[in-house]
């Protein structure tokens, strides 16, 4: 029983709560201005209903039924009745697609440029109509505030071109449309001296002519305007180009809402271990999708030029560079090229740093000194930079010979040629001298040998002649060995009249020679005596 009472109590409480919320919704919607089909009020109407729907979450259908039955009337109700929308979102979409503003931005801009009136009363009515059109068009534009301000500024300029006299002097320093309209109301009926009736057409022509010139200027630069300014909006910005304030030209620009995030990279040549570097200038690039552009500050993407750096198409030439150089990237980064045992003076930390080859130095809130140059900044934090790429494939570039290298190589070749010629001449002279000396030595040896043979033959001949002397003797023919035994001859030196040989004994014993097993006494020392004598 108690559970049933509790359930009934909850049900009654929910019903009471629903009734209270229903009453609250009725009160909330009751104060909303109905939408009758005016495009200028559609945006504010749909925005208000969206707020009520979000406030009473879960009861969208109840809110929509009340709105459809009580707050949508007139032409809007007739349009929706033909095909009833089942939800508020569908209803809102159909209303926005059908009830569009009567005039677009471009049409309103042309109306402002072509204003032609003959009384100040007509001018006031014309201004009111333009303001209504701007308000209605702004309700359907995402840039309603910017476009409304733009057209209001154009209208102010046009009003100042049409008025004259004391009215022109009074509004010359006013730039608010509401302030100018308040002054115009005071001058209604005083058209004679305050409106340029006789020059209205001329002023209108001048304004339109200037506008056409500006239009041509922008049409020639369509590639720069691109998609940032829509065709319907361009008229506003083109007219702003001709607006002046004091001595300044006021130019309206449109800031894009979409941004592309990318990194700015620096292409700079770095010498390798052989002191060869690519023949390319320093260049800042940005990579967007598959394209590489030359980066220039304050330019839009479609204004950037495609990079033609040789690094991208791998067509670089290599040049020789062994000069040590410090290149400044920005106030927090420098590159040291071709360093050779270079001491770095710095107070960033306690390290003793020696630089070799190529080095990228990032520093902040400290001072460094290198190559008699000092670099300093007081930044508390920096974004470190790196050599990029470091570990990718190394491409083989063709070495390019510079004029200096050609001159240096030519001088070196000439020196080598001179050295070769010198060595060639020296070798030729040495070879000729060697041949002459060798020939002289050979001639001397031949002469010496010939002389010795002649003397030896002469001695032998003398000995043989002396053997046929009166006292008799023995003639010995070495080719015919004598087997007979002869008597030894004493005092052979006296018979042969051979002079005494120094160091030789005259009474040296004779050596017997055995020939064919027959012993005979000969002068065995005869040949020795002849040889000693010849010497």
Does residue 458 fall inside a structural domain? no
227 burial (CB, 10 Å; 0-12 / 13-18 / 19+) is exposed
Highest mean pLDDT (candidates 102-116, 364-378, 458-472, 488-502):
364-378
pLDDT of residue 441: 92
Tell me the mean pLDDT in the region 25-41.
Answer: 77
Tell me the mean pLDDT in the region 228-247.
Answer: 48
pTM of the predicted model as reported, rounded to 2 decimal places: 0.32
pLDDT of residue 277: 84
The torsion defined by the Cα of 157, 161, 166 and 167, in degrees rounded to 10, comes to -50
Q: Torsions phi, psi of 472, nearest 5?
A: 80, 175
Which tens digit of pLDDT belongs to each residue from 339-355? 888 888 888 888 888 98
Which tens digit of pLDDT belongs to each residue from 263-315? 888 888 888 888 888 888 888 888 888 888 888 887 777 788 888 888 887 78
Tell me the mean pLDDT in the region 151-175.
Answer: 86
Whether residue 76 is found in the same domain as residue 128: no
Does residue 452 fall inside a structural domain? no
Boundary-marking domain end, from 349, 383, 399: 399
- Whether the pLDDT of residue 34 is over 70: the answer is yes
Residue that wins the pLDDT comparison between 500 and 87: 87
Whether residue 151 is found in the same domain as residue 175: yes
Structural domain span for residue 496:
467-534
Tell me the mean pLDDT in the region 226-238.
Answer: 44
Boundary-marking domain end, from 31, 63, 98: 98
Tell me the CA distances in angstroms from 108 to 59, 104, 133, 236, 523, one per residue in order.
41, 6, 7, 9, 158
Does residue 208 fall inside a structural domain? yes
Whether residue 308 is found in the same domain as residue 244: no
Q: Which of 208-212, 325-329, 448-452 has the lowest mean pLDDT?
A: 208-212
Q: What is the mean pLDDT of the chain?
A: 72
pLDDT of residue 442: 92
- Whether the pLDDT of residue 449 is over 70: the answer is yes
Boundary-marking domain end, from 186, 216, 250: 250
Whether residue 231 is found in the same domain as residue 293: no
Whether residue 127 is found in the same domain as residue 177: yes
Give the confidence band of 444 by pLDDT, cuts at 50, 70, 90. Answer: very high
pLDDT of residue 507: 43
State the Cα angle at 257 between 252 and 260, rounded to 5°: 120
pLDDT of residue 398: 60
- 357 within 8 A of 273, measured Cβ to Cβ: yes
């Amino acid at each position: 029983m108690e559970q049933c009472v509790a359930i009934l109590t909850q049900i009654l409480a929910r019903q009471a709560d629903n009734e209270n919320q229903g009453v609250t919704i009725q009160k909330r919607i009751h104060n909303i201005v109905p939408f009758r089909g005016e495009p200028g009020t559609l945006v504010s109407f749909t925005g208000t209903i969206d707020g009520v729907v979000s406030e009473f979450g879960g009861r969208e259908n109840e809110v929509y039924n009340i709105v459809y039955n009580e707050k949508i009337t007139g032409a809007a109700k007739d349009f929706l009745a033909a095909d009833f929308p089942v939800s508020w979102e569908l209803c809102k979409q159909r209303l926005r697609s059908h009830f569009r503003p009567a005039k677009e931005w471009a049409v309103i801009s042309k109306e402002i440029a072509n204003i032609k009136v003959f009384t100040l009363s007509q001018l006031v009515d014309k201004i009111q109509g333009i303001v209504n059109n701007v308000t209605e068009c702004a309700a359907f534009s995402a840039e309603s505030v910017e476009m409304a301000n733009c057209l209001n500024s154009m209208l102010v300029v046009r009003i100042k071109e049409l008025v004259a006299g004391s009215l022109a002097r009074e509004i010359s320093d006013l730039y608010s449309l509401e302030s100018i309209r308040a002054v115009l109301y005071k001058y209604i009926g005083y058209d004679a001296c305050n409106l340029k009736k006789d020059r209205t057409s001329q002023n209108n022509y001048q304004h339109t002519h200037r506008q056409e010139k500006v239009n041509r200027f922008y049409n020639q630069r369509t590639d720069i305007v691109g998609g940032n300014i829509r065709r319907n909006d361009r008229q506003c910005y083109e007219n702003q180009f001709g607006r002046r304030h004091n001595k300044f030209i006021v130019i309206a620009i449109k800031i894009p809402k979409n941004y592309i995030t990318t990194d700015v990279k620096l292409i700079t040549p770095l010498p390798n271990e052989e002191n060869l570097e690519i023949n390319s200038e320093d260049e800042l690039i940005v990579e967007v999708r598959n394209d590489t552009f030359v980066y220039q500050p304050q330019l839009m993407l479609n204004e950037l030029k495609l990079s033609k750096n040789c690094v991208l198409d791998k067509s670089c030439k290599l040049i020789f560079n062994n000069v040590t150089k410090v290149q400044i990237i920005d106030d927090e980064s420098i590159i040291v090229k071709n360093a050779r045992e270079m001491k770095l003076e710095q107070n960033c930390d306690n390290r003793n740093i020696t630089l070799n080859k190529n080095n990228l130095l990032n520093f902040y809130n400290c001072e460094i000194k290198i190559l008699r140059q000092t670099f300093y900044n007081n930044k508390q934090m920096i974004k470190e930079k790196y050599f990029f790429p470091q570990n990718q494939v190394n491409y083989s570039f063709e070495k390019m010979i510079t004029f200096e290298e050609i001159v240096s190589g030519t001088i070196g070749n000439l020196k080598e040629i001179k050295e070769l010629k010198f060595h060639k001449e020296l070798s030729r002279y040495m070879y000729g001298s060697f041949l002459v000396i060798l020939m002289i030595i050979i001639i001397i040896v031949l002469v010496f040998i010939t002389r010795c043979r002649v003397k030896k033959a002469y001695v032998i001949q003398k000995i043989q002649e002396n053997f046929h002397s009166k006292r008799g003797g023995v003639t010995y023919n070495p080719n015919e060995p004598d087997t007979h035994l002869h008597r030894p001859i004493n005092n052979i030196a006296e018979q042969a009249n051979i002079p005494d040989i120094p160091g030789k004994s005259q009474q040296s014993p004779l050596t017997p020679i055995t020939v064919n097993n027959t012993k005979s006494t000969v002068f065995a020392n005869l040949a020795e005596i002849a040889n000693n004598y010849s010497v």
